[in-house]
Amino acid sequence: MADFSITRLDARQPDFDRQLDAVLAFDPASDADIHEQVAEIIAQVRRDGDAALLEYTRRFDRHDPVSAAALELPQAALEAAWNGLAPAVAAALETAAQRIRAYAEHQKMAPWSYTEADGTRLGQQVTPLDRVGLYVPGGKAAYPSSVLMNAIPAKVAGVPELVMVVPTPGGETNPLVLAAAHIAGVDRVFRVGGAQAVAALAYGTTTLPRVDKIVGPGNIYVATAKKLVFGQVGIDMIAGPSEILVISDGGTDPDWLAMDLFSQAEHDEDAQAILIATDAAYLDAVEASIRGLLPTLERAGVVKTSLSNRGALILVEDLDQAAAVANHIAPEHLELSVADPDALLGKIRNAGAIFMGRHTAEALGDYCAGPNHVLPTSGTARFSSPLGVYDFQKRSSVIFCSPQGSDTLARTASVLARGEGLTAHARSAEYRIVESAS
Ligand SMILES: NC(=O)c1ccc[n+]([C@@H]2O[C@H](COP(=O)([O-])OP(=O)(O)OC[C@H]3O[C@@H](n4cnc5c(N)ncnc54)[C@H](O)[C@@H]3O)[C@@H](O)[C@H]2O)c1
Ligand SMILES: N[C@H](CO)Cc1c[nH]c[nH+]1
Ligand SMILES: [Zn+2]
């Protein structure tokens, strides 16, 4: 453990911004080699279809299905997994599913319209996507919670067909993942992962149907593949490794916050875990907690490298400065571990999900609070939002012109069209002017 160290920064020092950016530096799709490798995988899947899927599954997942059809798990296997769960586990999965569904119901975009005095009616029609692909990660760990987080909003949106892909390293399926797919109403499940799964969802193979949009988190191969197929299909976001940022006023048990940092560090060696506090002695106490907890967590297999690589303890002047640093980082998860989180909330502009107060551990949000755990990472919370029902709905504008309304609008359109030099546009509008029709 002597090799363990965590970066300490002081936001009051002149070089702070540069030092912080060094901790934050991580571009999930910048590695040229990975980009090239993923582009090659996508090209192979486009060219060879199922044969390429089988070949990459053998190579990367050490799993040798007898045929492409064997990549698909029958609904009976999902149901059997659900029926085989211990009652307490089934109840926990059901509780999480209900809470995620209840939250998602609030996110539904609704159609609307309004009618003008001359009878012209303008509005918005909302339709679900026809078929979506759900990427459920499965390389280093299995994520039944991610099945629920991906599938339930799609169901609430009314998507008729949900196609899930999940790698099964060594051919081992995870019963909780299958059971979650069963209760979430996933229509088809394929045991394939990585860039090859993303390519198959984007372009289709004989066995695996092409979808309209691919959602869900994954490692750098998955993220890079999603970036490369965007345009052929929709994607939700390019999600990088997990992140947690905690703002503390020094009043929370240091062990609690040390464990909150570890809770995201354990996802990935590239995970980012940062604590900001107003009191140097408190940061010392949390660092001591981290060191105290490390041996037990290491024995349980929790990675510590991410706390060394992309962890930091930051001293700030006050909570206002803490909020400013948080807004610069724009974290995936932000815990406001302070006495009055509501007072701080209004100062937060950039964060995927905000966890309020000392008792709201981020881990509760990962599983069962209700809001989605698929969230913007790598600073993209500056411009994007959590996965939600709205990701599975599209809007179409609806325009109805009454005869009187089209007469009025045509006069305006005609002038503007002629201003643009577009004669056919102008004539098309002018046909609708009542006096010109007679
Ligand atoms: N944001 C979220 O909601 C959320 C939820 C769960 C997990 N995660 C993140 O998802 C990621 C999961 O990663 P994972 O690796 O465990 O599973 P994964 O399913 O994303 O990736 C596994 C696949 O990667 C491919 N792969 C592995 N090594 C490769 C190589 N050398 N060349 C080409 N392809 C290769 C294989 O095809 C394999 O099937 C972690 O970073 C975790 O933090 C995020
Ligand atoms: N923290 C992850 C999102 O960054 C989600 C997750 C799933 N299981 C546990 N955690
Ligand atoms: Zn997590």
Residues 281 and 351 in one domain: yes
- Do 329 and 209 lie in a common domain? no
Binding residues for substrate: 242, 264, 267, 333, 366, 420, 425
For residue 204, is it left (φ>0), alpha (ψ between -120 and 50) or beta?
Answer: left
Residue carrying the six token digits 């040390």: 258
* Ligand in closest contact with the CA of 168: 1
What is the per-residue pLDDT for 4? 79
* 338 occurs within a structural domain: yes
**Residue 44 beta carbon below 6 angstroms from any ligand 2 atom:** no
Task: Give the CATH number for residue 307.
Answer: 3.40.50.1980
Residues 168, 278, single domain; the answer is: no
Amino acid 291: pLDDT: 93
**Does the beta carbon of 362 sit less than 6 angstroms from any atom of ligand 2?**
no
- What are the angstrom distances between the C-alpha of 393 and each of 107, 127, 154, 399, 419? 11, 6, 8, 19, 36
Q: Are residues 303 and 219 in the same domain?
A: no
Q: Is the CB of 240 under 6 A from ligand 1?
A: no
Q: In this structure, are 343 and 213 located in the same domain?
A: no
Residue 229 counted as domain residue:
yes
Are residues 247 and 230 located together in one domain of the fold?
A: no
Assembly ipTM: 0.98
> What element of type H or E holds 126?
strand 121-128
**Among 186, 203, 235, which residue terminates a domain?**
235
Number of structural domains the chain divides into: 3
Catalytic residues: 332-333
Q: Is the CB–ligand 2 distance for residue 332 below 6 Å?
A: yes
In a domain, 209, yes or no: yes
Nearest atom in ligand 1 to the alpha carbon of residue 135 is 19
In a domain, 381, yes or no: no
Q: What residues pair up with 234 in beta bridges, in sequence order?
A: 213
- pLDDT on residue 438: 46
Query: Would you state the pLDDT for residue 2?
Result: 47
Q: Where do we find the tokens 């809770």?
A: 263
Nearest CA to ligand 1 atom 37: 194
Give the end of a domain, one of 235, 266, 282: 235
- Classify residue 376: in a domain, yes or no: no
Given a cut of 50, the residues of the chain with pLDDT beneath it are 2, 437-438
Ramachandran bin of 201, using left for φ above 0, alpha for ψ from -120 to 50, beta for the remaining angles: alpha
Q: Of all atoms in ligand 1, which is nearest to the CA of residue 264?
A: 43
Q: What is the span of the domain harbouring residue 162?
A: 32-79+129-235
Task: Mark 2-26 as b/e (b = at least 16 C-beta within 10 Å).
Answer: eeeebbebebeeeebeebbeebbeb
CB 99 within 8 A of CB 369: yes
| In a shared domain, residues 313 and 169 | no
pLDDT for residue 300: 84
Ligand 1 mutation target, pool 36, 60, 303, 374, most atoms within 8 A of CB: 60
Q: Whose CA is nearest to atom 4 of ligand 2?
A: 242
272/340 same-domain check: yes
**Domain end among 205, 235, 265:** 235
Q: In this structure, are 190 and 211 located in the same domain?
A: yes
Which listed ligand is nearest to 353 at the C-alpha?
A: 2
pLDDT recorded at residue 436? 55
Could you read off the pLDDT of 53-110 as tens digits, one per residue?
A: 999 999 999 999 999 999 999 999 999 999 999 999 999 999 999 999 999 999 999 9
In a domain, 86, yes or no: no
Round to whole Å and give the CA distance between 184 and 369: 17
Are residues 201 and 56 both part of a single domain?
yes
Question: 268-304, pLDDT tens digit by residue?
Answer: 888 999 999 999 999 999 999 999 999 888 888 776 6
* Co-location of 168 and 269 in the same domain: no
Looking at residue 302, its pLDDT comes to 78
Residue 85 one-letter amino acid: L
Residue of minimum CA distance from atom 4 in ligand 1: 217
Residue 363 lies in a domain: yes
| Shared domain check, 294 and 215 | no
> CA nearest 163: which of 127, 123, 192, 125?
192
CB of 268 within 6 A of ligand 2: the answer is no
Domain annotation covers residue 422: yes
